Amino acid sequence: MSDVSPRPEPFAPHTDPAVLEDLRTRLRATRWPDAPEDAGWSLGTDIGYLRELIAHWADGFDWPAQEAALARLPRFRVPLGGLGIHFVHARAVAPTEPVLPLVLSHGWPDSFWRYTKVIPLLTDPGAHGADPADAFDVVVPDVPGFGYSDRPTGPPLDSIAVAGLWAQLMGVLGYERFGAAGGDIGSHVSRYLALDHPDRVVAVHRMDGGLPVLTGDPADLTPGERAWMEGVGAWSATEGAYAAMHRTKPQTAAVGLTDSPAGLAAWIVEKLRAWSDCDGDVERAFTKDEILTNVTLYWLTGTIGSSMRMYNANAAIPPEQLARRVEVPSGFSLFRGDVVRPPRAWLERTTNAVRVTEPPRGGHFAPFEEPELYAEELREFFRPFRAAAAAATETATG
């Protein structure tokens, strides 16, 4: 076996104009479904709004400009576990103190896109009105099957396996100890980083507590915990059809969503609206160009099917794994507009929760919706843990 560490290589994709022309042709040829009058968003994506979005995608959206903007981020690919992993690696700018490395994990339906606005706020806080001592080295990988990372050709990877890859990645980048943060699937990945690599993760920050898994006596739950679990069940009954499809028969939906860009946009934009803090108006949280950048990444990489398959993999994680308690210091930012927000009692039951906040704005995609607020949440939470990471770095390099 070779002892040579894999080498990250710079990565800057350039889309073939013929691929974009094919996309525009498909968009202009969309076969539209009927919809009841005044249905709005009550039955799913509002067809009237989707028509506007698709028209802009076909004739107004400038993907080369968006691709050039994304290329300004320091992006790389590296082979890990037989897969090419795409990631952003942005180093702190002119730090005044030892820098804390931080790996940020995204969820669905997004990619490294989720963190594109917040990266400069974390690497160069002094330029954004914050304390330069709070600078991070930021690593934002695309989960395999998402974005520009390879799609697994065999069984999809679950959150435990992805956490193992991120631990390898941070080692390749020279980080012995680091912080971890994420939301949605990224919250699960961050959790397993803390569970399986507690000697390396100084602290973990999450935007949610995951869906509840109770292995003990329900009588031990607080009234708030019981109410929350009932609320999760009600939410799943009215809003969880997408997840049931992803868990069980993702390939069926993948056929249509991979073939039809309008269908892909409908599948994604409905979640951007429902899970963001936008009071029903998706463009209070995202511009059309921002929405379409996210959707176009899925279209060009052909990853909607592989991203959905991760739900199937995570559904097979054994209950004993889901029941493990996180002992690494944990922080939670439960943004106002997010879904199924857990009570503090549950977080303290399942983790070593040292900080729980409820920011007044933002939703499921808070790093994109409210990047300044999210950056401040991370700075505040990780500040007490910087010394531990710095001491480990000095020991490793000294």
Q: Which residues are catalytic?
A: 184, 311, 364
Contacts of residue 189, defined as CB under 8 A and 6 or more positions apart, other chains included, come to 105, 143, 159, 162, 163, 166, 180, 182
Which pairs count as long-range contacts for 282-285, CB under 8 Å and 24+ apart, including other chains?
282/49, 285/363, 285/365, 285/369
Residue corresponding to tokens 């001491």 = 391
H runs (alpha helix) in 82-220: 119-123, 159-172, 185-196
Polymer length of the chain: 398
Tell me if 72 sits within 8 A of 119, measured CB to CB: no
- Return the exposure string of 201-236: e unless at least 16 CB atoms fall within 10 Å of the residue's CB, then b: bbbbbbbbbbbbebeeeeeebeeebeebbeebeeee
Alpha-carbon 5 to chain mean position = 27
Beta pairing class for 136-141 and 178-182: unpaired
Residue 143 phi, psi (nearest 5): -60, 140
Residue 287: exposed, middle, or buried by beta-carbon count in 10 A (0-12, 13-18, 19+)? exposed
Beta bridge partners of 332: 206, 356
Task: Identify which of 117, 108, 113, 123 has the alpha carbon closest to the alpha carbon of residue 87.
Answer: 113
Compute the distance between CA of residue 171 and CA of residue 152 in angstroms, rounded to an integer: 22
| Strands of 178-182's sheet in order across | 9-10, 75-80, 83-90, 136-141, 100-105, 178-182, 201-206, 326-333, 351-357
Cα torsion 218, 224, 230, 235: sign: negative
Compute the distance between CA of residue 365 and CA of residue 116 in angstroms, rounded to an integer: 12
Beta pairing class for 201-206 and 83-90: unpaired
SS3 247: helix
